[in-house]
Amino acid sequence: MNNTNLKGIVIDPGHGGSDPGAVGNGFQEKDLNLKISQYMYDELKKLGIPVTLTRATDETLSPSERVTRVKNAYGNTPDVLVISNHINAAGSEQTGAEGAEVIYALRNNDTLARNILENIGDAGQITRKYYQRRLPSNPSKDYYFMLRDTANTTPVIVEYGFIDNANDINRVNQNYKKYVDAVIDGIIETYGLGSGSNTYTVKSGDSLWKIANQFGTTPAAIRAANNLTSDVLRIGQILTIPNTTSTPETPSTGNTYTVQNGDSLWKIANKFGTTINALKSANNLTNDNLQVGQVLTIPGNDNSNTYTVKNGDSLWKIANQYGITVNELKSVNGLTGDNLQVGQTLKIPSENGGAITSDNTYTVKNGDSLWSIARTYNTTVDTLRRLNNLTSDILRIGQVLKVPSSESGTSRTYTVKNGDSLWKIANEFDTTVSKLRELNGLTSNDLRVGQTLRIP
């Protein structure tokens, strides 16, 4: 396979909301699934691959809604990859079970699943098996709905470890970024995303992370492009740099762009900070095919963008269409729930921040990252990038960043009462158990009546 055969990737953080998934050793599966998926989303965005999440918050999704979001993201075709992230639970029948597994659909071959599992093993996690599982009542169908009901897409379920094995789940929690990088390595190998002609010669003090940041790519992509089995580099080593952003961009004239060799709609959309749907609409395109020399109209981004709700719309669907988050849509429009009315007019935040207020600032300190700052202010990495016109994730100590004041929410408190639990409080305030624990410095889920909690 090669990158022309990959239309997009849908990341599915399993469970969520009122469905915590497996629980054990102080963890809830839904929280780990979301943390893993958010990191995966950010890393794939760095590669320039079209990617979306089925949920970006602690949201309750029915199986049918989850599958609908998968199929609506990039279409119902084999060139749409679905990664469903999960944490396993062994139960009494497999006491002490540990390690990663990958399940793939009956309609697909084992190449992707095998590559993912092998790379997770190379990253240091124990591995068990990659396999298919059939529905007992009808062996011609997949056992898991995410494989069975996603029609023609290419889905895999990745189980990173066992939540009821303390050693295993702590290993996953501490090393999940390595394991996610490994999954991305498997995707890159399977779809041939690591090709590129730029090279770099390693010098003293270099690391894969440092080089990846310099060229706007990821360690996973560099490892795949150079067939590296570890992160060890030697001075003078020549590396192939994939998908580098150092190549000069083709200049545009006004609000138009002339298609160049190698262009695609998603590549052009990323370059101009718009969406594939917006490009197609502005140019009356009925498919994704382009011709070299074709002149495209680039839709403008201003603060007056609006959208009129039509039948079948949801906040999630509209947010994906405009490349923003549900929380951003709700914040800009003062919405307290997810209900919409046909004919309702919504404000759409623009690429430069639009209607999102940004009076607050934050000064970068040692050890900070966009991801850690986004978590602190209950926002997203994409929002921070837009507010600050960032073209990479590299920060410098002392740098002043705008942060969305409407989402910081640092002044709310809640007093614990009889019958409360972290899960119950998180649901009441539309947040997650992980965020509550982090904000309040909690090391367990235990609460006491009268305790005051900060609410993100």
Q: Which two tokens stand for residue 243?
A: 């998908």
pLDDT for the residue numbered 125:
95
pLDDT for the residue numbered 126:
95
Which of 34-38, 133-137, 138-142, 272-276 comes out lowest in average pLDDT?
272-276
User: What DSSP character marks residue 412?
Assistant: -
Could you tell me which of 6, 29, 42 has the C-alpha nearest to residue 373?
42
Q: How far apart are CA 182 and CA 189, in angstroms?
A: 11
8 Å CB contact between 157 and 86: yes
pLDDT for the residue numbered 373:
77
Bigger pLDDT: 229 or 358? 229
8 Å CB contact between 172 and 120: no
Task: Give CA separation, 395 vs 177, 294, 320, 360, 404, in Å.
Answer: 19, 37, 27, 18, 18
Domains and CATH numbers, the chain: 3-191 (3.40.630.40), 198-241 (3.10.350.10), 256-297 (3.10.350.10), 306-347 (3.10.350.10), 360-408 (3.10.350.10), 413-454 (3.10.350.10)
Task: Give CA separation, 300 vs 186, 257, 382, in Å.
Answer: 37, 12, 19
Beta carbons within 10 angstroms of residue 427's beta carbon: 16
User: What DSSP character marks residue 25?
Assistant: T
Read off the pLDDT band of 274 (50, 70, 90).
low
Read off the pLDDT band of 156 (50, 70, 90).
very high
Provide mean pLDDT across the span 391-402: 75
Sequence-separated contacts (24+) of 385-391 with Cβ below 8 Å: 386/349, 386/351, 386/352, 386/353, 387/353, 387/356, 387/358, 389/352, 391/216, 391/245
Q: How many Cα neighbours within 13 Å face the side chain of 222?
A: 28
Strands 127-131 and 100-104: parallel
* Strongest mean pLDDT among 65-69, 248-252, 341-345: 65-69
69, containing H or E segment: helix 63-74
Task: Give CA separation, 112 vs 105, 218, 320, in Å.
Answer: 11, 20, 26
Could you tell me which of 337, 304, 331 has the C-alpha nearest to residue 406?
331
Residue 28 has pLDDT above 80, yes or no: yes
> Angle 169-53-395 (CA atoms, 0-180°, nearest 5)?
80
Amino acid identity, residue 263? D
Q: Which two tokens stand for residue 381?
A: 């990495």
Beta carbons within 10 angstroms of residue 145's beta carbon: 14
3-state helix, strand, coil in the chain (%, to 5): 35, 20, 45
pLDDT > 70 in the chain, percent? 79
8 Å CB contact between 133 and 175: no
Bigger pLDDT: 110 or 188? 110
Read off the pLDDT band of 305 (50, 70, 90).
low
Provide mean pLDDT across the span 116-128: 93
For every residue of 158-215, DSSP letters joined together read: EEEEETTSHHHHHHHHHHHHHHHHHHHHHHHHHHTTT---EEEE--TT--HHHHHHHH
Q: How many Cα neighbours within 13 Å face the side chain of 423?
A: 15
Read off the pLDDT band of 297 (50, 70, 90).
confident
Q: Which two tokens stand for residue 87?
A: 């944490």
Residue 200 has pLDDT above 90, yes or no: no
Is the overall model pTM greater than 0.85, yes or no?
no
Provide mean pLDDT across the span 113-137: 94
pLDDT for the residue numbered 410:
40
Amino acid identity, residue 21? G
Strands 400-403 and 360-363: antiparallel
What distance lies between CA 121 and its chain's CA centroid? 22
pLDDT for the residue numbered 3:
39
8 Å CB contact between 65 and 12: no
For every residue of 232-259, DSSP letters joined together read: ---TT-EEEE-S-TTSPPPP-BTTEEE-
Read off the pLDDT band of 362 (50, 70, 90).
confident
What distance lies between CA 126 and its chain's CA centroid? 24
Q: Which two tokens stand for residue 450?
A: 């009268």
Q: pLDDT tens-digit profile of 244-272?
A: 433 333 333 346 777 776 677 777 766 66
8 Å CB contact between 75 and 9: no
**Residue indicated by tokens 């895999």:** 156
Which of 89-103, 180-194, 360-374 comes out lowest in average pLDDT?
360-374
